[in-house]
């Protein structure tokens, strides 16, 4: 039988243990943590035993973070990365800084060009200038910076960047600035991301194709031979965790991050989705063009040498999204 004194001793021990654990747990700042990647990454890092601070202006609301509200070690700070004074307050005491806040995609950047430059480029440069040299900095850019190529030769990290949109230029400029800054940094050139997220994006190519496949039953493909690489959102979170753990060995280099077996054309992607939605009608249009002219295949060999590979394939992501969209749109879509 335990008395009151024993219970108090136990609770005091638990309190001290939690205090000590917090002192040794890495503190990670995720700017834009309420976004498509960030809302998955924050939960993943908490599972990895990190303390996570999410900085976000909640442009799309708080719903994507509600699943983290009761998590030990999670802290939310409302703020805008365009405000340098906000960055100065939140950066101190962090061990790792991951800037994800961005105006994403060519159409949105074209609608808001000034904000695109301030958010995608200048805020990253400001974060890098504010942080100390011993804080780990892992910057996610995009492999869309490779622009339009023949689609036959693999782009490596040594391939010259040739972004064809304001979005690509702002991200590529920010990458160059942090790599040239003299401070240790890792940059990740992410493939086109797919998969379910608390802050779902239906404009990303795989996500968009699956949505139209199950809702309309057909896809209209322009310039179906254009290729690109793909990666699941959970693999992107895994990659950030890998970079945190192996920062000293990987620092000061860019890395392509994508599925090795998913350098696919748009038509090949549509055919892959048809394996899951057999009644899908794929319509190829020879007349007309896609506003997104990117065309490239990517080598992920450099990051593989550092011990990281993507493991969630397109079949996994497509099946996941069929279920997820069924929930979102109130429909049951059964794989035949």
Which helix (H) or strand (E) element contains residue 93? Answer: none
Grade residue 335 by pLDDT with cuts at 50, 70 and 90: very low
- Residue 180: the pLDDT is 98
Grade residue 333 by pLDDT with cuts at 50, 70 and 90: low
| pLDDT, mean of residues 144-148 | 82
Chain segment 26-52, per-residue pLDDT in tens = 999 999 999 999 999 999 999 999 999
Tokens of 99: 């800037």
Q: Name the percent of the chain lying above pLDDT 70.
A: 88
- What's the distance, Cα to Cα, between the start and end of the chain in Å? 60
Q: Which of 143, 144, 142, 106 is CA-nearest to residue 124?
A: 142
Longest dimension (CA), the chain: 82
Decide if pLDDT at 267 tops 50: yes
Rg value, the chain, Cα: 21
Decide if pLDDT at 79 tops 80: yes
Chain segment 182-215, per-residue pLDDT in tens = 999 999 999 999 999 999 999 999 999 999 999 9
> CB neighbours of 15 closer than 8 A, spacing ≥ 6?
none
Give the predicted TM-score (pTM) of the model: 0.89
Q: Looking at the domain that runs over 4-195+230-260+293-311, which CATH code has it been given?
A: 3.40.50.720
Find the range with the poorest average confidence among 13-27, 101-115, 124-138, 220-234: 13-27
Q: Name the percent of the chain lying above pLDDT 90.
A: 80
Decide if pLDDT at 334 tops 60: no
- Residue 153: the pLDDT is 84
Q: Which of 87, 118, 93, 101 is CA-nearest to residue 35?
A: 101
Tokens of 303: 């990051």
Decide if pLDDT at 12 tops 90: no
Which helix (H) or strand (E) element contains residue 91? Answer: helix 84-91
Q: What is the DSSP letter of 50?
A: -
CB 55 within 8 A of CB 77: yes
Cα dist from 322 to 106, 193, 317, whole Å: 26, 16, 9
Chain segment 272-293, per-residue pLDDT in tens = 999 999 999 999 987 655 556 6
Q: Residue 167, Cβ neighbours under 10 Å: how many?
A: 23
- Residue 287: the pLDDT is 61
Tell me which of 145 and 76 has the higher pLDDT. 76
- Residue 20: the pLDDT is 47
Decide if pLDDT at 117 tops 50: yes
Grade residue 145 by pLDDT with cuts at 50, 70 and 90: confident
Cα dist from 205 to 23, 102, 106, 153, whole Å: 42, 18, 13, 22
Q: Which of 91, 32, 11 is CA-nearest to residue 240?
A: 32
Decide if pLDDT at 295 tops 70: yes
To which residue do tokens 């990740």 refer? 188
Decide if pLDDT at 233 tops 50: yes
> CB neighbours of 173 closer than 8 A, spacing ≥ 6?
121
| pLDDT, mean of residues 12-25 | 56
């Amino acid at each position: 039988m335990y008395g009151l004194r024993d219970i108090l001793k136990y609770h005091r021990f638990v309190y001290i243990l939690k205090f000590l654990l917090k002192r040794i747990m890495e503190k990670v700042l995720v700017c834009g943590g309420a976004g498509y990647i960030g809302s998955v990454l924050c939960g993943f890092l908490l599972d990895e035993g990190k303390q996570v601070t999410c900085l976000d202006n909640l442009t799309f609301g708080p719903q994507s973070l509600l699943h983290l509200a009761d998590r030990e070690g999670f802290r939310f700070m409302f703020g805008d990365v365009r405000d340098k004074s906000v960055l100065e307050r939140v950066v101190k005491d962090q061990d790792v800084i991951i800037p994800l806040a961005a105006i994403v995609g060519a159409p949105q950047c074209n609608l808001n060009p000034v904000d695109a430059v301030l958010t995608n480029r200048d805020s990253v440069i400001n974060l890098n200038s504010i942080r100390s040299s011993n804080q780990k900095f892992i910057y996610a850019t995009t492999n869309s910076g490779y622009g339009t190529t023949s689609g036959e030769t693999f782009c490596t990290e040594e391939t010259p960047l040739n972004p064809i949109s304001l979005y690509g230029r702002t991200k590529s400029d920010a990458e160059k600035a942090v790599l040239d800054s003299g401070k240790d940094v890792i940059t990740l050139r992410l493939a086109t991301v797919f998969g379910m997220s608390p802050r779902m994006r239906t404009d990303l190519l795989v996500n968009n194709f699956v949505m139209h496949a199950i809702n309309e039953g057909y896809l209209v493909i322009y310039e179906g031979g254009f290729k690109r690489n793909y990666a699941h959102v959970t693999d992107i979170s895994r990659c950030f965790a890998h970079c945190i753990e192996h920062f000293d060995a990987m620092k000061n280099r860019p890395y392509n991050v994508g599925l090795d077996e998913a350098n696919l054309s748009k038509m090949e992607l549509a055919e892959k989705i048809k394996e899951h939605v057999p009644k899908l009608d794929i319509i190829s249009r020879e007349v007309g063009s896609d506003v997104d002219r990117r065309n490239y295949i990517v080598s992920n060999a450099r990051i593989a040498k550092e011990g990281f590979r993507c493991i969630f394939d397109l079949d996994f992501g497509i099946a996941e999204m069929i279920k997820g969209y069924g929930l979102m749109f109130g429909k049951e879509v059964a794989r035949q």
